[in-house]
Amino acid sequence: MGRVRVLVRNWALGFFCPRPLVNLLYLPRFFRHWLMYAAKARGQEVPILDSHPCLGDWSLQTPFDPHYFYQGAWLARKLSNARPVRHVDIGSSVLTVSVLSATVSTVFVDYRPLKVALAGLDSVAGDILQLPFANDSIASLSCLHVMEHIGLGRYGDPIDPEGTAKAAVELERVVRPGGRLYISVPIGWERVCFNAHRVHAPESLPTMFSRLKLVEFSYVDDSGRLKEDQSLSAADNLDYGCGLYVFEKRFT
């Protein structure tokens, strides 16, 4: 029964992830290739119980998500230049923090704890609205493609229409004077795409941080191209881009 369960899982993933209707179009090719392989294997068994259809990977270019690809590369380059002793990340891509931890000691905080053991990476449970850090204590902090989700309930968090703004207040609280905060959020015309995310106007995010100054702004446009060191107004006509913000906390 174990192999049958694996078979059902593999075929379900093949049909329904990530593009169900498109994947169906590739099914005849899958069977054609299976028969070709079995004929050439010359006695090597190719049982149906071990089949694992991957139907949508035949493409002329490597597919990628521009927001996640560029934001991870952007943050890694910023930290490579800044060379912090320790970096704290709140809920960003686990693939990003796994790579960051190779060059800078990284603390990863997430509402859903990451259960891994990796040199240079410490993972702790935490809520972005109640971070487990003292006021003015973190020199280098990031939160990529996270704030827009807060308060929508998607990840088990409480429903709160002010979730993004409240997350901004808490992130600002823990950054120390002179410290830097690296943020990414979807940008475009402002809206709530319930319960996936919010989209913010490029100019609206800096207004959420009363004690931070905007040092640099970059963005990924609607065509998936990275635009570095831009004015906020350069991104005004986007539908669903990715804003990349570097903030620094003012001394009071």
Bridge partners (DSSP) listed for residue 249: 212
Residue 18 or residue 184, greater confidence: 184
pTM of the model: 0.89
Distance between CA atoms of residues 109 and 143, nearest Å: 10
* SS3 of residue 100 by DSSP: helix
Distance between CA atoms of residues 182 and 79, nearest Å: 10
Residue 163 or residue 1, greater confidence: 163
Bridge partners (DSSP) listed for residue 86: 105
Contact 105, 86 (CB under 8 A): yes
Q: Is the backbone peptide bond immediately before 18 cis, with ω within 30 degrees of 0?
A: yes
Q: What is the pLDDT of residues 91-122, one digit of tens each?
A: 999 999 999 999 999 999 998 889 999 999 99
Contact 82, 74 (CB under 8 A): no
Confidence of residue 19 (pLDDT cuts 50, 70, 90): low
Q: Which of 233, 235, 216 is nearest to 225 (CA)?
A: 235
Q: What is the pLDDT of residues 51-102, one digit of tens each?
A: 888 887 888 889 899 999 999 999 999 999 999 999 999 999 999 999 999 9
Maximum Cα interatomic distance, the chain, rounded to a whole number of Å? 76
Q: What is the DSSP letter of 118?
A: B
State the fold for domain 66-249.
Rossmann fold (3.40.50)
Q: Is the pLDDT of residue 15 over 70?
A: no
Q: Is the pLDDT of residue 242 over 60?
A: yes
Q: Is the pLDDT of residue 18 over 60?
A: no
* Domain boundaries defined on the chain: 2-50, 66-249
For the residues 35-52, what does the mean pLDDT come to? 85
